[in-house]
């Protein structure tokens, strides 16, 4: 276990390892992005939270219940400083303006988290590539790949100004899992494998600047959208396991949030550069838990389920 000297689940104002660090979480409206922003804030960071849904405007995802302003408020309430900046990461002009603002405000960027996605409403399983809607498939690639490329292109010159920067590409699935399994929809498969390769390539490019780039995946994430799809809340999510027993291995967004905060706070994080990591694996490495005190290993459970009927309790 790497020696992070604080408990990421119970930090005080005296033990905030990211105080003074400047972070950008691109795609922080909800789900993993929101939790990552909040946990970076809990560790004392200043976090710029971006996305397209604000209190005045709703993105194509169609959920008005989560906004970037609320995310920024949660960051501040957790002990950091949250700054909401409405940004469409498909628009280079908006991303350039965002980076220029961070530069004016602080003159540095220490952590970049590329979490932009928002393509769940376009995802259809059970159809072959030629049967899927082409416009929807290409839109998934825009949301999950092009946004990450634009944001890295424009933000990395600021991040490399000081040595030791961290880039986190958030995706779905590890390199080991995705590398030998088709994610059932070609467009989705491409959108979720590309960030893994981006992290690998960025690790090579950042090496001379002392930077670290990694891909991080949560397991079966109980995002706001997932909870709504199952008709439950975070308080009663286990009710959904009656119809879907495997949902018992799901994790709250807090776990991946703590995973990224642990990486950012680790002075020896460069040992991970170029690698594909999971929230469950990092929880074991750094010793943190999910919000309920468990340590779910969703990917281990999923792999075991391919040849048997594992008990979710054995993977928590």
Asked if 292 and 232 touch (Cβ cutoff 8 Å), the reply is no
CA 111/CA 45 separation, integer angstroms: 10
Q: What is the pLDDT of residue 15?
A: 80
For the stretch 107-132, pLDDT in tens is: 999 999 999 999 999 999 999 999 99
pLDDT at residue number 4: 37
Query: How do the domains of the chain map onto residue ranges?
Result: 22-231+252-299
CA-to-CA distance for 146 and 158, rounded, in angstroms?
20
Phi, psi at residue 172, to the nearest 5°? -130, 110
Which residues, in sequence order, are CB contacts of 237 under 8 Å at separation 6+? 222, 227, 230, 247, 250
- CB-count exposure of residue 258 (10 Å: 0-12, 13-18, 19+): buried
What is the assigned CATH class of domain 22-231+252-299?
alpha beta
Which stretches of the chain score pLDDT less than 70? 1-14
Convert the pLDDT of each residue in 53-102 to its tens digit: 999 999 999 999 999 999 999 999 999 999 999 999 999 999 999 999 99
- In a 13 Å sphere around the CA of 287, the CA atoms on its Cβ side amount to 10
> How far apart, in whole angstroms, are the C-alpha atoms of residue 50 and residue 28?
6
**What is the distance between the alpha carbons of residues 247 and 16, in angstroms, rounded to a whole number?**
33
For the record, the structure tokens of 34 come out as: 């929101």
Catalytic residues: 188
Question: According to the model, what pLDDT value does residue 116 have?
Answer: 98
Phi-psi region of 171 (alpha: psi -120 to 50; beta: other; left: phi over 0): beta
pLDDT for position 3: 34
pLDDT at position 14, please? 54
Packing angle of the helix pair 134-141, 186-206 (nearest 10 deg): 20
| pTM of structure | 0.95
Cα 306 to Cα 226: distance, rounded to the nearest angstrom: 23
Give the per-residue pLDDT at 223: 97
Report the C-alpha gap between 165 and 152 in whole angstroms.
12
With 0-12 / 13-18 / 19 or more C-beta atoms within 10 angstroms meaning exposed / middle / buried, residue 241 is middle
Strand order in the sheet with 166-170: 81-86, 46-51, 22-26, 111-114, 166-170, 212-217, 276-278
User: How many helices (H) does the chain have, and how many strands (E)?
Assistant: 11, 7
């Amino acid at each position: 276990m790497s020696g992070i000297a604080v408990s990421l689940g119970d930090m005080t104002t005296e033990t905030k390892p990211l105080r003074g660090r400047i972070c950008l979480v691109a795609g922080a409206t909800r789900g993993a992005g929101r939790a990552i922003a909040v946990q970076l804030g809990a560790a004392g960071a200043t976090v710029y939270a971006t996305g397209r849904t604000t209190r005045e405007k709703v993105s194509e995802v169609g959920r008005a219940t989560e906004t970037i302003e609320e995310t920024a408020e949660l960051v501040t309430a957790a002990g950091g400083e949250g700054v909401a900046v409405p940004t469409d990461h498909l628009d280079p002009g908006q991303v350039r303006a965002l980076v220029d603002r961070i530069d004016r405000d602080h003159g540095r960027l220490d952590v970049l988290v590329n979490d932009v996605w928002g393509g769940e409403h376009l995802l259809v399983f059970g159809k072959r590539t030629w049967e899927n809607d082409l416009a929807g498939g290409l839109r998934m690639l825009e949301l999950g790949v092009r946004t990450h490329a634009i944001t890295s292109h424009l933000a990395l010159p600021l991040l490399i100004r000081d040595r030791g920067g961290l880039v986190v590409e958030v995706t779905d699935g590890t390199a080991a899992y995705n590398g030998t399994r088709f994610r059932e929809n070609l467009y989705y498969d491409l959108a979720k494998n590309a960030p893994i390769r981006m992290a690998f390539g960025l690790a090579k490019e950042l090496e001379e600047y002392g930077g670290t780039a990694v891909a991080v995946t949560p397991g079966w994430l109980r995002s706001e959208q997932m909870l709504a799809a199952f008709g439950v809340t975070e308080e009663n999510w286990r009710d959904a396991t009656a119809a879907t027993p495997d949902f018992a291995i799901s994790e709250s967004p807090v776990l991946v949030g703590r995973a990224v905060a642990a990486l950012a706070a680790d002075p020896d994080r460069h040992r991970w550069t170029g690698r594909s990591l999971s929230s469950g694996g990092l929880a074991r490495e750094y010793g943190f838990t999910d919000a309920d005190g468990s340590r779910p290993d969703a990917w281990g459970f999923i792999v075991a389920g391919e040849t048997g009927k594992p008990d979710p309790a054995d993977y928590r």
